[in-house]
Structure 1
Amino acid sequence: MTATDDAAAPPLDVLIAGGGYVGLSLALALKRGAPSLDVAVVDPAPAGAAARDGRASAIASAAREMLTALGVWSTLEPLAQPVEDMIVTDSRTRDPVRPVFLTFAREEGSAAPFAHMVPNGALVAALSDAADRAGVTRIAGSGVTDFETGTAFQRITLADGTTRRARLLVAADGAKSRLRALAGIQTVGWGYGQSGIVVTVKHERPHHGRAEEHFLPAGPFAILPLPDNRSSLVWTESTETADRLVAADPFTFAIELERRFGHHLGAITAEGTPRAYPLGLMIARRFVAPRFALCGDSAHAIHPVAGQGLNLGFKDAAALAESVVEAARLGSDPGSADALSRYERWRRFDTVQMGMVTDGLNRLFSNDSPALRIVRDVGLGLVDRLPGLKRRFIGAAADADPSAPRLLRGEAI
């Protein structure tokens, strides 16, 4: 649907700023849970731009359950690569052999892998199509530039000069959220002096669905399986080194890539242009304000060492949708303080906890200290030899949480 109304129209129930996977999954969940809600998504990017993202993301089992409940997993599954097992090594770039200290594999009798790799473009496209079919209003190419909070609604100004009213405004506009700043919400966090290089590689030999996490002195080097003998890399380096590598000529980049990737999958070739993204920890001090909520990267940004950034965003969307839908079913205002308080209580502690875990892992493994190397290698080996402890790690990686929002358990709101 296309929005042409101005402030004279009846107020929307929810206006979501941001048309990525978080904003779209939230909009879709709201409409499926309460079809009578009037929901709009405003995205400054041109229509279809997010669907052209060439990167891929790891979808944990709980996020897969959510996508199934939202009716989009059947579209994505043929394009997804199951992650059947994972190995963890701890070594230096110059080491001729990288000993494996920890392995994760699908548990015997399990019907599904603990994660899938899904192309970001396909994920956004599937959510976008489903949101359109559900009746979500789409306002493409015009972001939110300002808003004024009133007693009954937000008065929202768009980049094209038009205004809209909404009972709840949700910022899903990324880690550098303009709306978070306009709401006066402060953040806590720090940079790591690292950047993540993201690139897809083609290799000669099959990966058999194996993911690899190589802890190198500069930071983790993750090889994540994709279909057709391809893998997605998340390669951590100091920001100075990362900037130099992505600006280097293809031959120099290929040599440095091969030094870290190794030869176990045969000859490798980088596809597309590598990009580097600064890494840090950022968590908003508050997730809500009157008739306003942060969702996804606008609320938090964590290190990719555990591959949980996307899954945290889905958790936010599931929790906020459930809080708003249940309020609507009780006849309450979707932007009520009670609904927003429930959402914040549900999500903020879990987010802080995950932020601290990833921060600790990055600090523990992104160094070449002999003493810390002994400690972490002993720890990894201990986990590998204790099946019960390993199952807990697998459950955490898969986001298996009985107190999670219903969508993450595969249940309708």
Structure 2
Amino acid sequence: MAEAEGRGGRHVVVAGAGIAALGLALALKRANGPALAVSVFDPGLPEGASRHRGRAYAVAAGGRRMLERIGIWDRIGPATQAITDMAISDSRLRDPVRPVFLTFEREGEAEPFAHMVEAGPLVAALLAACAEAGVALDASGIASVRTEAGAARVALSDGRSLRAELVVAADGARSRLREAAGIGFVTRAYDQQGIVATIGHARSHEGRAFEHFLPSGPFAILPLADGGALGHRSSIVWTERADEAGALLAGDPEEVLAEIERRFTPALGRLSLEDGPSAHPLHLGLARRYRAGRLALLSDAAHVIHPLAGQGLNLGLAAAACLAEGITDALRLGLDPGGEDVLAAYERSRRFDALAMAAATDGLNRLFSNDLTPLRLVRDFGLGLVDRMPGLKRALIAEAAAARGPQPRLMRGEPL
């Protein structure tokens, strides 16, 4: 690939082809057209959407509005399922009854709390839309980035070199670009693994999500669009102690399904294992800064949180929307899209939200992933108290849906 330049030499390079990274690239290209060259580099690009098979995400209302605005939502309609209500329970695995302490229900014509979106179709739609819009998709890796007068010099793994005003490091929790820039990353491993799988079931979920807190960690059942051998499907996100996860998944599919059935709600009838399971070590990670010279961190390169609230992707999409807005506004004013003021504003806007969500999910995991009787009594009393306070429940729903406080334009459904 020759050096890619937009009119006036403006160029943004994105390292990594995850969902938030592709959303950023597409938003920038749609908003700025030929005035800005946008390139995405990821050695995993030849695998396309296949490397995301079996995964699904809860996309909050703000993220849905962003995907609508950049022209993706209509493309993935059949792969989405609205979450219209949620039930939260807390018990031991051996308990015969799982009391529901807290429910969230959609009121009237209010929008759904979130939509479950299958990752494969979402990534496929993003890749196709990026190609159509003129985003350069390249399977090379980025070997190094160094700053020079007014730009960054990007060296690719195949020996090529290009110039860009800004490099976005979206290359994961073990980001090489973050490390090379000298940005510290505070990390702490949870003694847990996250297990994901797609489960078929005989009865309809009717858009209801379940979050069942067990001493080893939460077990979430999240509704997917209908399909599969039994007609209905859900995604599970199962948190298990690290020393037990391997043994639980080591059996044949029937034994694994039996373990899932022990934790699954009986309300959905007969079960089948449609996809997975796969296990992933869980950890908390926070970058000390979100920027360096001509470099911005995005998504897991900036923050990794516990999956119990399903907010990791939503944080990434919000950051992508914020960064796209700052870059686009700078370009329209004739300013440097990779300048210190643009990157400082981006960091100020996103760092607090990420810290707050990391603290909240870490605290909830500590509170619920144990079997201490005093804590069980306190947390179950607290859940029941919240259930009797409709105003507080509405505020929590609005917070989870990214409907409170100032939001980037794309998250409000407005154009850049």
TM-score (norm. length: structure 2): 0.95
Q: Who is 2:391 aligned against?
A: 388
Matched, 1:106 2:106: yes
Aligned amino acid, residue 340 of structure 1: L
Query: What do residues 148-207 of structure 1 show as CA deviations (whole Å, max 9, x unaligned)?
Result: 222322111212221222110100111111111111110123111111001111111111
Alignment of 1:152-163 (within 5 A): 152-163=150-161
Match among 317, 322, 327 for residue 324 of structure 1: 327
Check whether the contact 2:62–2:411 (CA below 8 A) recurs between aligned residues.
Answer: yes
Paired letter, 1:291 = R
User: 1:50 Cα shift?
Assistant: 3.2
Q: Structure 2, unaligned stretches of length 5 or more? A: 227-231
Match of 1:5 among 2, 5, 17: 2
TM-score normalized with structure 1 length: 0.96
AA partner of residue 190 (structure 1): R
Q: Tell me which residue corresponds to 1:90.
A: 90
Match of 1:412 in 2: 415
The structure 1 segments of at least 4 consecutive aligned residues displaced by more than 3 Å after TM superposition are: 6-12
1:168 to 134, 154, 166: 166
How far 1:7 moved relative to its partner? 8.8
Describe how 1:345-364 pairs up with structure 2 within 5 A: 345-364=348-367
SS in structure 1 at match of 2:165: strand
CA contact (8 A) 1:20 1:50 kept: no
Letter of the 1:23 partner, please give it. Answer: A
Q: 2:302 aligns with which of 289, 299, 304?
A: 299
RMSD: 1.6
The answer to whether the aligner puts 1:194 opposite 2:192 as a matched pair is yes
Mapped partners of 2:85, 2:384: distance in 1? 17
Q: Does 1:205 pair with 2:208? A: no
Deviations 1:89-110 (A, max 9, x none): 0001011110000001112232
In the TM superposition, residue 402 of structure 1 has moved relative to its aligned partner by 3.7
SS in 1 for 2:182: coil
1:343 aligns with 2:340: no
Residue 51 of structure 1: how far off its partner (Å): 4.9
1:285 maps to which residue?
Answer: 288
| TM-fit CA distance, 1:31 | 1.4
Bigger Cα displacement from structure 2, 186-195 vs 278-287: 186-195
Shift of 1:263: 2.3
The structural deviation recorded for 1:32 is 2.0
Query: Identity percentage over the alignment?
Result: 54
Question: How big is the shift at 1:70?
Answer: 0.8
Distance 1:244 1:274 in 2: 13
Which residue number corresponds to residue 76 of structure 1?
76
Unmatched segments (≥5 aa) in structure 1: none
> What is the SS of the residue equivalent to 1:19?
coil
Q: Distance in 2 between matches of 1:144 and 1:223?
A: 38
Residue 6 of structure 1 deviates from its aligned partner by: 4.6
- How far, CA to CA, are the matches of 1:90 and 1:239 in structure 2? 21
User: Is residue 48–residue 124 contact of structure 2 (8 Å, CA) maintained in 1?
Assistant: no
Q: Which amino acid aligns with 2:39?
A: A
Structure-2 residue corresponding to 1:400:
403
* CA contact 2:5–2:36 (8 Å) conserved in 1: no
